Structure 1
Amino acid sequence: MKVRFIGTTILSFAAALVLQGAVITGVQAQEKQEAKPWFKDGEAQIVKAFEDPDRWIREDLWVETEFDSDGDGRSDRMHVDVTRPAETETEGLKLPVVYNTSPYFAGTAGNNPSYFWDVRHELGEEPKPHAHPTEIKRRGVRPIISKGHVSTWLPRGYIVVHSSSPGTGLSDGVPTIGGDNESLAPKAVIDWLCGRAKGYTTRTGNKEVKAYWSTGKVGMTGTSYNGTLPLAAATTGVEGLEAIIPVAPNTSYYHYYRSNGLVRSPGGYLGEDVDVLFDFIHSGDESKREYARKTVRDTEMKNGQDRVTGDYNDFWAGRDYLNKMDKMKAALLMSHGFNDWNVVPEHSLRIYEAARTKGLPAQIYYHQNGHGGPPPVSMMNRWFTRYLFGVENGVENDPKAWIVRENDEQGNPTSYADYPNPDASPVTLHLTKGAPEKGSLTVAKPTSQGKEALVDNYSFSAEALAKAENTDHRLIYVTPVLKEEVHLSGKTVFTIRAASSKPAVNLSVYLVSLPWNDHRGAKITDNLITRGWADLQNYKSLWDSEPLKPGRFYEMTFELQPDDQVIPAGQQIGLMIFSSDRDFTLQPEPGTELRVDLDGTSVSLPVVGGAQAWMKATGEF
């Protein structure tokens, strides 16, 4: 293929034809200040003529979809806004699109705990019904649905498009919280941007609107639910969606509201579930809300979400995007925080690994903070420049993983060949008794350690249990004091052999760094390495749980959340086992006894440098 140089980058001849003369060199742009995209160092640069908001064209419209989810006998239409440079009208300039869709743009019901499920009940017990919020009053003034992303991308030569999800704002349809219509809605908008679907000036009229200013190249980005929807669109295989940058996306509603068979709340939203989220976002047409509640919330969700067993089922499988990856073609740049306990970090990793297996262009960016946090703009710019403008900037040859180290700024990640770190390998540690104080965690497997027990009591926080010198409400096992730092990268795997005094028991497992940081302003995440939760009733399968026989021992293996963390010298790594986690799990009456067979319990850490690095840090072999 013939190429020509543009600034310090290379643009394929085919891409130049697609842009129809819309690209000029960096030198030309600086000299003439023409109102066309230009590139330097592999990135789209700010175009002076595109910076003035007074010259932007703003308009809204409705795009017709292929579904009727609100039962009114006509295809649902999605409300869409467009913000574009004036030159797309006056000069016939065609540009690629950065597209952001959301259920939040028109407002929400707010996070009132009285609308959440009550978590104070016995495991396996049918929960009491909960209240529902009052009507959401739509906010916003047409034609602007959102101003998000406009100031970043429009001056760099992109058109920015927003749309409201089904059943929200001025879009038709019903919210399904991961149902098919939430994938097909953004697909329809992309089809319209590529000339394959119809757009209209009004919600019910017949006057058409065409996206004559679009090159047919679309990229999507967004955070949280807004990060889930780019993935939802990409899994339809829609043509024209070239690249997505999901930030902290929820890639499986089961993994958001359950954990290895256990009913588990997302961090900060104790008692939330899919039906609560339905009420939270349902800001659509008031005349359609009763239909939506009856057909979706009170029927499909009520029957499918199953807060009694926590098992995986067809309802959850249909809301898991990992099951829909076969059609995906878009280049993927994932972003997530290792201390995101709302949408836990496994959500991004599972999709990144699937994309890599498919051979798709994929990179992952992880930082050490909580929910949200996009990659640096420069990284996003290179991604969109490569796949939307067609500039051959070599981004596909960049390192696959970018990790923000513990004391670095989020804009300054360290590159690695991949994630998990290819130099990491498992080091298995075994437990030596010590309850109710601390036991030890060693490479050498001790002989006949027997069993130790803890008593469930949700009244104690995980932090209090980790800091306690002596307590019956947790078991904790610690490594030798580290002589050198230890770099963990990947997923910790935990195997337990345990027995419960009741037919069901919560199981919570934390990996922590000790001694605990008690300095002013310290947070639990300062000492948290990773954690996970499970239901021992699902020791055979996530699909089928079975009541535990009190006193009988069961073996279960599951993964804790992925992490990449350097544990400094002078610390100890502690494995803490307890039952109810008051910030995440149901809270049964205290008193259930969990007995752990130490000889059948172990933890495998993903250590960079493997056994040799562990030996240097601990003196163990």
Structure 2
Amino acid sequence: MMNERNYSKVPVFENGMAQPVFPFTDGKTGADYNPETSSIVRYAVYVESDYDMDGDGKRDLVKAVVQVPRSAVEGNYKAATLFEARPYCAGVNEDGYPHMKEVAEKEYRYFDFADLEREVPARVPTGSIGAMELALQANPSDWYYPDKGNNDSMVYSNLDTFNYYLVRGFAVVLCGGFGTLGSDGFNYVGSDYERDAFKFVVEWLHGDRVAYANREGTIQTKADWSNGNVAMTGRSYAGTMPFAVATTGVEGLKTIIPIAGIADWYSQQNMQGAQRYWPKEVLNSFLAYYCSSRYHDESLSEKQLDDMAAFHHELSLRQLKCGFDYDEEFWGSGNYCLNADKIRCTALIVHGLNDENVSTKQFEMMYKSFKKAGRNVKLLLHQGAHITPTMSNREYGILVDGQFYDDIVNKWISYYLYDVDNHAEDMPAVLVQTNYDQKKWETAESWETAYAMNLACEETGTTVIDTDWEAAGVSAENFDERMALQSGNMNRRYMTSAFEEAVTIQGTVCVKLKAALKDGDAEQDFHPENRNDVDTLTMKLGDSSISGKMDDVEVALLLCDVCDEKFDSIQSVDPERNTIPVEKVKAGGVINGGDIPAFDEVEFATVHKNYRVITRAFADLCNPEAGYDPVTATNSIELKKGEYHDYHIYMNATRYTVESGHRLALVIATEDPVNCLIHKTYAVEIENASVEAKVPVTKDTDDRLIKADE
């Protein structure tokens, strides 16, 4: 514990950072929590939206949980806010997979999406209440109680995620958005409604919108402790919503720190007309249901519950009509890059280079959007998977170039929210952990490189690959290894010679090739099989009788680092490619300061193999026009046997150093069992001489020939 005499009533900044000078009391102590004496003032508010999604004749309210140092509420200073917008924080429906099977063949009433646009007048408050008075009435059960959809968790279990910032004088606000428990409306993934729910919270913090102290929406309350400056942060879904809100240009949002966030929902789930996400979760309605903890609101009538279910079912049907192609009506609102010109804030974008959950293309698309908007943007890239450099829920963290991750964020938001002159805005454009030595971090002044290494195939003739998993001896567990180390009936490797000196790849690799459908029963949709036990509704996503087109004749591309000798590398160890183990290197090595316990310092565990997948891509041969921009995957064609088409396939963004003595393997395959929703029977013919790749590199490097192995 800190000595009480070291506490301050106002933020203190030293070395460009806010210091831990505020006392802390836990907000999750149940009956022991005392709002009269708590050093952190906590309460819930209900922000009024512009929408009446659920059609009850009243504008929908959005619940937000507020945590703010008591001193700010007492009027000693105005606090800046760190805001996490995350549907999961209000609870989840853990039964997502069985639920999708239960509703696959169920009939629902038609839900007209035009009804979402109904306009109703704003409420008229009958009174007002201040933050302190509201907090004195509050109970931890407003924000911390068992999650009815997940018995092993608690609602707002991320309450502790930002304690580091609370003891340094920042306020912290958490919000689940529409369709979550305590809020009205429907969870509508990737929509303007979802985005605006969180924008409205920023507006309340800035003083531009009404919030209420109760669910009835009668007594208003203002964030009179707020200085109006907001930073949004969080990982995954909580890293996506900051970018979404940033593209509204909302007043008060000064900066965002998105971690593993999505820039475009289409290319998160698909890639150039092909499915790229895990097969059981490719319908937006799955995620919408998973996030809809409002189903557990015991005050709702059967009709209200049925309305939510009908809405989510209609969302499924709308996506089925798109197939795996981009459709502006369905995907446009979730393509935040289309509104890059509206961005007014800055960004510190954080992403793991081994993240196979949210693809690395997403951080690059965000980065390009902020550059297009002319805003200050930085990249912080680590070698982890789908994690935050400090994992507060697991009480560990990695060092970032010898620094604590939260200290880096502290400097960034101290500059943008409190105007501290610490030159945080001048940090390098790119700070990246190297793949060959995780203790080493390198910098670059731009993500774009001035150089490219071209790989061109010297082979003639053609290569035929098919989708026979059994003949290839391929499974989800061994796919990467088989693809990287040998050619077979499902894949062909195109190999470089060994590198005489190290070469660093940075950016997006583009592969060109000519390919044709060699064999397959197109009239029967290539005989689709459900190899991953997916519900029948999701399986209809590639059904030509619904979409009216040939769809998802997939190729998978991998760029691999291979070597005759085994080498240490950081890579995932599970079939889903989502887990990279960590090893403790120093107990209590990550200092939080103040009354907050330290976390353990960890490093990523390495594996000892003679291959490592650097980056990958998926593409549908039915979409030869598809390129980097998701909009280009709008048009598809009917493939004819023997009819060649030109393809430009863009792999996920990467930063990787190929060391001396290693070779690159460009692998062209058909189906990837890990990401395969619909197993089909077909064969593809590739013109070997057409295969080439443009590889962005950090220095002038000679072009190379690649050769197809047997």
TM range (shorter): 0.7 to 0.9
Give the AA of the match of 2:196.
L
Q: 1:572 to 1:115 in 2, by over 3 A?
A: farther
Given that residues 340 and 372 in structure 2 are in contact (C-alpha distance below 8 angstroms), is that contact kept between their aligned partners in structure 1?
no
What is the match of residue 525 of structure 2?
Answer: none
Distance (whole Å) between structure 2 residues aligned to residue 90 and residue 467 of structure 1: 62
Q: 1:386 to 1:152 in 2, by over 3 A?
A: same
Alignment of 1:182-201 (within 5 A): 182-201=194-213
Given that residues 516 and 644 in structure 2 are in contact (C-alpha distance below 8 angstroms), is that contact kept between their aligned partners in structure 1?
yes
Equivalent position to 1:527, from 600, 608, 612: 612
What is the match of residue 372 of structure 1?
Answer: 387
SS of the counterpart of 1:317? helix
1:147-201 CA-to-partner distances (Å, cap 9, x unmatched) read 1433111111101111121001211110000111111111111111122111111
Give the AA of the match of 1:429.
L
SS of the counterpart of 2:88? coil
Distance (whole Å) between structure 2 residues aligned to residue 223 and residue 233 of structure 1: 15
Q: What is the Cα deviation at residue 301 of structure 1?
A: 3.9
SS of the counterpart of 1:221? strand
1:402-430 CA-to-partner distances (Å, cap 9, x unmatched) read 111125558x742211213x35x222212
What is the match of residue 121 of structure 1?
Answer: none
What is the match of residue 10 of structure 1?
Answer: none
Distance (whole Å) between structure 2 residues aligned to residue 522 and residue 55 of structure 1: 43
What is the match of residue 445 of structure 2?
Answer: 417
Tell me whether 356-365 or 278-287 shows the greater mean CA deviation: 278-287
Give the AA of the match of 2:698.
V
SS of the counterpart of 2:89? coil
Alignment of 1:104-115 (within 5 A): 104-110=88-94, 113-115=97-99
Equivalent position to 2:699, from 594, 609, 615: 609
Identity %: 24
What is the match of residue 583 of structure 2?
Answer: none
Q: 1:469 to 1:345 in 2, by over 3 A?
A: closer
Distance (whole Å) between structure 2 residues aligned to residue 107 and residue 31 of structure 1: 39
Distance (whole Å) between structure 2 residues aligned to residue 334 and residue 306 of structure 1: 34
1:327-377 CA-to-partner distances (Å, cap 9, x unmatched) read 221111111111111110011111111111211111111112211224711
Tell me whether 449-458 or 283-292 shows the greater mean CA deviation: 283-292
Distance (whole Å) between structure 2 residues aligned to residue 542 and residue 143 of structure 1: 39
What is the match of residue 456 of structure 1?
Answer: 467
Give the AA of the match of 2:676.
T
SS of the counterpart of 1:610? coil
Q: 1:455 to 1:274 in 2, by over 3 A?
A: same
What is the match of residue 11 of structure 2?
Answer: 37
Q: 1:243 to 1:450 in 2, by over 3 A?
A: same
Q: What is the Cα deviation at residue 510 of structure 1?
A: 0.3
Distance (whole Å) between structure 2 residues aligned to residue 335 and residue 62 of structure 1: 30
**In the alignment, is residue 430 of structure 1 matched against residue 456 of structure 2?**
yes
Distance (whole Å) between structure 2 residues aligned to residue 242 and residue 336 of structure 1: 20
Alignment of 1:84-163 (within 5 A): 84-110=68-94, 113-115=97-99, 137=149, 146-163=158-175
Q: What is the Cα deviation at residue 243 of structure 1?
A: 0.8
SS of the counterpart of 1:365? strand
Give the AA of the match of 2:283.
D
Given that residues 285 and 315 in structure 2 are in contact (C-alpha distance below 8 angstroms), is that contact kept between their aligned partners in structure 1?
no
Q: 1:558 to 1:521 in 2, by over 3 A?
A: closer
SS of the counterpart of 1:290? helix
Q: What is the Cα deviation at residue 465 of structure 1?
A: 2.6
1:4-47 CA-to-partner distances (Å, cap 9, x unmatched) read xxxxxxxxxxxxxxxxxxxxxxxxx9997532111122111111
SS of the counterpart of 2:287? helix
Given that residues 311 and 545 in structure 1 are in contact (C-alpha distance below 8 angstroms), is that contact kept between their aligned partners in structure 2?
no
Given that residues 491 and 561 in structure 1 are in contact (C-alpha distance below 8 angstroms), is that contact kept between their aligned partners in structure 2?
yes
**In the alignment, is residue 50 of structure 1 matched against residue 50 of structure 2?**
no
What is the match of residue 277 of structure 1?
Answer: 287
**In the alignment, is residue 400 of structure 1 matched against residue 417 of structure 2?**
no
What is the match of residue 437 of structure 1?
Answer: none
SS of the counterpart of 1:256? helix
Given that residues 401 and 415 in structure 1 are in contact (C-alpha distance below 8 angstroms), is that contact kept between their aligned partners in structure 2?
yes
Q: 1:144 to 1:573 in 2, by over 3 A?
A: closer
What is the match of residue 635 of structure 2?
Answer: 544
**In the alignment, is residue 294 of structure 1 matched against residue 310 of structure 2?**
yes
What is the match of residue 356 of structure 2?
Answer: 341
Equivalent position to 2:561, from 513, 523, 527: 513
Q: What is the Cα deviation at residue 304 of structure 1?
A: 3.4
**In the alignment, is residue 382 of structure 1 matched against residue 419 of structure 2?**
no
Equivalent position to 1:600, from 678, 690, 694: 690
SS of the counterpart of 2:194? helix
Q: What is the Cα deviation at residue 220 of structure 1?
A: 0.8
Q: 1:87 to 1:322 in 2, by over 3 A?
A: same
Given that residues 81 and 143 in structure 1 are in contact (C-alpha distance below 8 angstroms), is that contact kept between their aligned partners in structure 2?
no
Given that residues 59 and 143 in structure 1 are in contact (C-alpha distance below 8 angstroms), is that contact kept between their aligned partners in structure 2?
no
TM-score, length-normalised on structure 1? Answer: 0.83
SS of the counterpart of 2:506? strand
Q: What is the Cα deviation at residue 533 of structure 1?
A: 0.5
Q: What is the Cα deviation at residue 138 of structure 1?
A: 8.3
Q: 1:278 to 1:386 in 2, by over 3 A?
A: same
Q: 1:482 to 1:385 in 2, by over 3 A?
A: same
Given that residues 485 and 562 in structure 2 are in contact (C-alpha distance below 8 angstroms), is that contact kept between their aligned partners in structure 1?
no
Give the AA of the match of 1:494.
V
SS of the counterpart of 1:392? coil
Give the AA of the match of 1:454.
I
Given that residues 106 and 139 in structure 1 are in contact (C-alpha distance below 8 angstroms), is that contact kept between their aligned partners in structure 2?
no
**In the alignment, is residue 70 of structure 1 matched against residue 86 of structure 2?**
no
Distance (whole Å) between structure 2 residues aligned to residue 610 and residue 464 of structure 1: 31
Given that residues 201 and 207 in structure 1 are in contact (C-alpha distance below 8 angstroms), is that contact kept between their aligned partners in structure 2?
yes
Q: 1:112 to 1:200 in 2, by over 3 A?
A: closer
Given that residues 284 and 315 in structure 2 are in contact (C-alpha distance below 8 angstroms), is that contact kept between their aligned partners in structure 1?
no
Given that residues 457 and 589 in structure 1 are in contact (C-alpha distance below 8 angstroms), is that contact kept between their aligned partners in structure 2?
no
